[in-house]
Amino acid sequence: MSGKAFKLGIMGGTFNPIHQGHLVAAEFIRDEFNLDEVLFVPSGKPPHKDSNEIAPPEHRWMMTVLATASNEHFSVSSLEIERVGESYTRETILQLKKIYPENTECYFITGADAIAEISTWHKTEDLSQITKFIAASRPGYKLDIKSIDSRFQECTYLIEIPALTISSTEIRKRIKEKRTIKYLLPEAVEKYISKNKLYG
């Protein structure tokens, strides 16, 4: 048996809704780090976010499936949305480690904004024992290793990706204002949103 590790990228997010910024980040990181798979994990009840504006988990999961279906390296997990209570990254990674082969190396993918908050996460200390982090540049946020909690600098990689000034917040706002969201997210997701009257 070959000793080559299985490199698993884990892309956490609310995906409310998923957009091209998420997809470009995941795909560029997959390519740069030679990841075997990128697993998108839509969050259940995000501990950091106000729950009023968040579409039901089933819809966010479905949109994530639609957006990632055409990429052979992408997959989606319903692990966090099925969990009762708050979602914590540590629990998710420990659960994934049980499902994936023993030689799996985990790479938790975030944007520059999310990685800056790392020390506020739940039990981050142990987290650095079970996963590495990859932080992607994002317009409007400084990507600098010095701005990351010193305990995690050693297990964090930074990567510049093509800048897309797209956020789910902006997309939800545009939908409310009945403005176009075309090309900000995959067409299938755009159609799914209008069919199910989300964010209106």
**Could you write out the three-class secondary structure of 62-119?**
HHHHHHHCCCCCEEECCHHHHCCCECCHHHHHHHHHHHCCCCEEEEEEEEHHHHCCHH
Nearer to ligand ATP, 63 or 136 (CB): 136
Nearer to ligand ATP, 5 or 128 (CB): 128
- The residue nearest ligand ATP at its CB is 111
Nearer to ligand ATP, 103 or 120 (CB): 120
Dihedral of CA atoms 140, 11, 57, 89 in degrees, nearest 10, equals -100
Q: Any idea which residue has 């039990």 for tokens?
A: 123
Nearer to ligand ATP, 68 or 167 (CB): 167
Distance CA 170, CA 84 (A): 29
Nearer to ligand ATP, 96 or 161 (CB): 161
Nearer to ligand ATP, 96 or 109 (CB): 109
Distance CA 93, CA 97 (A): 6
Distance CA 53, CA 192 (A): 17
Taking the complex as a whole, the smallest distance from the CB of residue 128 to ligand ATP amounts, in Å, to 17
Contact 7, 34 (CB under 8 A): yes
Distance CA 27, CA 35 (A): 10
Contact 55, 17 (CB under 8 A): yes
Could you list the residues that contact ligand ATP (CB under 6 A)? 13-16, 21-22, 25, 110-111, 113-114, 136, 138, 164, 166-169
DSSP 49: S
